[in-house]
Amino acid sequence: MTSTMNQTVAQTVLVTAGTGKVGRRVADRLAAKGFPVGIGSRSAEVAFDWEDRSTWAAVLEDVGAVFLMYTPGTSGLRRRRHHSGVQ
């Protein structure tokens, strides 16, 4: 939260992988504490994909903090599946 004089303004927290098990729990807890929350996910209302920079701007608008959920090895696995024709 950002404080200016007598006014406190909550900045949006982007939760990556926010539709998954951990991300959803983090997003719910942040929202319960009064933080505006944005969900970063390929299946979210506003899609976000690390590998597609054209999706970044819309998701990062008005974001002041990020909870970065990272699962090692998943990016390479996704690329290998894509190149082998697996959906």
- Partners of residue 32 on adjacent β-strands: none
Q: What confidence score (pLDDT) does residue 74 get?
A: 60
Are 26 and 67 within 8 A, CB to CB?
Answer: yes
Q: What confidence score (pLDDT) does residue 28 get?
A: 98
Interior angle at CA 78, CA 72 and CA 84, nearest 5: 140
Confidence of residue 9 (pLDDT cuts 50, 70, 90): low
Q: What confidence score (pLDDT) does residue 56 get?
A: 93
| pLDDT greater than 70 at residue 19 | yes
Between 81 and 44, the more confident residue is 44
Are 37 and 12 within 8 A, CB to CB?
Answer: yes
Token couple for 21 = 């098990």
Neighbours of 42 (CB within 10 A): 13
Write out pLDDT tens, residues 22-70: 999 999 999 999 999 999 999 999 999 988 999 999 999 999 999 998 7
Which residue has 């920079």 as its token pair?
53
